[in-house]
Each structure stands twice: as C-alpha cells, then as structure tokens.
Amino acid sequence: MRDMEQIYQKYMPQVYRFLFSLCHDIHMAEDLTQETFYQALKGIDDFRGECRLYVWLCSIAKRLWYRELKKKEREKPLEAVEETATAKSGTEDSAIQKVEVLRLYKILHSFEEPLREVMYLRLNGNFTFKEIGEIMGKDENWARVTFYRGKQRIRKESHYEM
C-alpha cells in the first residue's frame, strides 16, 4: 500500500489545477479534487504502474469531471446557459466578448479527443506543453503539434485569431 498522504501532498495541487482548467469553478474543482483522491484511495491497489501516478490521478479526475458534466447536462439545457450568460453581461463590449468566447468553446466542443482536451488544458489551465504531454501520456512535441493543429482548425472554422 502506497502512502496516500505523501501522494496527496505531492499531487493535490497539480490535480486541482487540472480540474480547475476544466471547470473554472473553485468550489467544484476542490470537490472534484477531494473525490479524485478518495477514488484513488479506494483503487490504489489496482494501480499497476503502467503510467505515471500523476497521469492515473488525472484520468480519475477527468472521469469524475465528465460524470459531473453529464449530471449538469440533465439539470440545465445549453440554451438556458447561453441566455443567462448573455443576460448577465453588463456592457455591450462584455456581451460581445462573451459571444466570442461562447463561439470559441462551441468550436472546441466539436473537436474530437484528444485534441479538445489539449486545447482546454493549454487555453484554460495554462499548462505547459510538457505538462500536457505528461497528462496525456505523450511527449512535449506531440502536445505542441496537437495544439498547433487545433489553432489551425479554429482559425479555419471561425476566422478566429489566437
């Protein structure tokens, strides 16, 4: 049995940052981080060491995030979210900016995995290409090339400058 306290101390900040890059909500990221380590504690004996421990923890975190997304999807349709976001914008400039961001995320949402995740990690989480490569179980160059291809697709699909 691995010492979960040491694992928690070492990887909690990274797992939290990974989750925050996905959800952009401090409280949700904290809750999901705690749930990630709870699930890891329950399943640590099943960890075979085929990947780095950090990658395994991020895969648990990602699975929990997807479960949360499905739960929210059932609770509130996308149209209501868009209307709320538009209604909350105070000035015309911020409303235009939110529409642009919404358009960008709609394009990103249409991307297949792993391209979508690389884009989210880089744009939202400010992860380095090396960190993205580690999370995805690839190398730094793969992360750079994948991100570049994602930027090209965004430009092509929306004439969006990054």
Domain locations along the chain: 1-75
Q: How confident is the model at residue 1 (pLDDT cuts 50, 70, 90)?
A: very low
Residue 90: per-residue pLDDT: 52
Nearest CA among 46, 60, 54, 76 for reference residue 8: 54
Residue 158: per-residue pLDDT: 73
Q: How confident is the model at residue 125 (pLDDT cuts 50, 70, 90)?
A: confident
Q: How confident is the model at residue 35 (pLDDT cuts 50, 70, 90)?
A: very high
Evaluate if residue 82 carries a pLDDT over 80. no
1-75: which CATH number, 1.10.1740.10, 3.20.20.140, 3.40.50.1000, 1.10.10.10? 1.10.1740.10
Cβ(26)–Cβ(17) under 8 Å?
Answer: no
Using CA atoms, how far apart are residues 54 and 10, in angstroms rounded to an integer? 9
Stretch 5-9: mean pLDDT: 88
Stretch 10-27: mean pLDDT: 89
Within a 10 A sphere around the Cβ of 9, how many other Cβ atoms? Answer: 10
Q: Which residues 6+ apart lie within 8 Å of 26 measured at CB? A: 20
Token couple for 114: 């792993």
What 3-state DSSP class applies to 2? Answer: coil
Residue 84: per-residue pLDDT: 53
Within a 10 A sphere around the Cβ of 104, how many other Cβ atoms? Answer: 17
Q: How confident is the model at residue 152 (pLDDT cuts 50, 70, 90)?
A: confident
Q: Is this structure's pTM higher than 0.75?
A: no
Token couple for 139: 């190398």
